[in-house]
């Protein structure tokens, strides 16, 4: 990016928002319908002025996964710029006319509505703009992708 940006939750809430009722589809086969409210991601990215080499967004999250015989791994996910700029891709901070609950990803969850649930990261604290996944965890674009899931994960 040309200019790194940092936003508080209050600042995101004061930006233009959109509310959408969409179906969440899980790779495990279940689905549910909910009303999400948040800031469209595209205009937030425009404020940082992406450089020409930008290809992907990597979402770094507060939670970790795994453990057992291995140490916990930081959870992360990614998308390309086409999905990032889709009008339904939002930084969600509201669910069903209430503040986004912790169990659903508070403080901010990314809703990429054209993708399966594992592509919609919860507890997001940082969005990194990259040209490649090399050097980020397992290098495949996400925690689940590093463990065999498909990168695109589209519906």
Question: What does the block give as tokens for 142?
Answer: 């996400």
Sheet strand arrangement including 124-130: 73-80, 56-65, 124-130
Contact 144, 79 (CB under 8 A): no
How far from the centroid of its chain's Cα atoms is residue 150's Cα?
Answer: 16
pLDDT at 68: 66
The parts of the chain modelled with pLDDT lower than 70 are: 68
Nearest CA to 78 out of 49, 110, 123, 37 is that of 110
Q: Which residues of 88-111 are buried (b: 16+ CB within 10 A; e: fewer)?
A: ebbbbbbbeeeebeeebbbbbbbb
pLDDT at 70: 76
Following CA atoms 115, 132, 126, 101 in sequence, which dihedral angle do they give, to the nearest 10 degrees? 20
pLDDT at 51: 97
Cα angle value 55/60/62 (rounded, 5°): 170
């Amino acid at each position: 990016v040309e200019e790194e940006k940092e936003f508080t939750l209050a600042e995101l809430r004061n930006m233009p928002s959109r509310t959408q009722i969409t179906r969440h589809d899980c790779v495990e086969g279940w689905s549910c319908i909910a009303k999400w409210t948040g800031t469209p991601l595209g205009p937030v990215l425009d404020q940082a002025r992406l450089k020409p080499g930008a290809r992907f967004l990597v979402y770094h999250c507060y939670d970790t996964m795994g453990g057992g015989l291995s140490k916990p791994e930081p959870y992360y996910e990614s998308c390309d710029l086409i999905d990032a700029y889709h009008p339904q891709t939002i930084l969600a901070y509201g669910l069903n006319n209430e503040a986004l609950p912790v169990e659903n990803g508070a403080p901010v969850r990314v809703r990429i509505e054209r993708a399966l649930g594992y592509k919609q990261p919860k507890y997001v604290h940082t969005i990194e703009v990259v040209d490649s996944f090399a050097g980020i965890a397992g290098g495949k674009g996400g925690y689940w992708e590093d463990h065999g899931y498909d990168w695109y994960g589209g519906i």
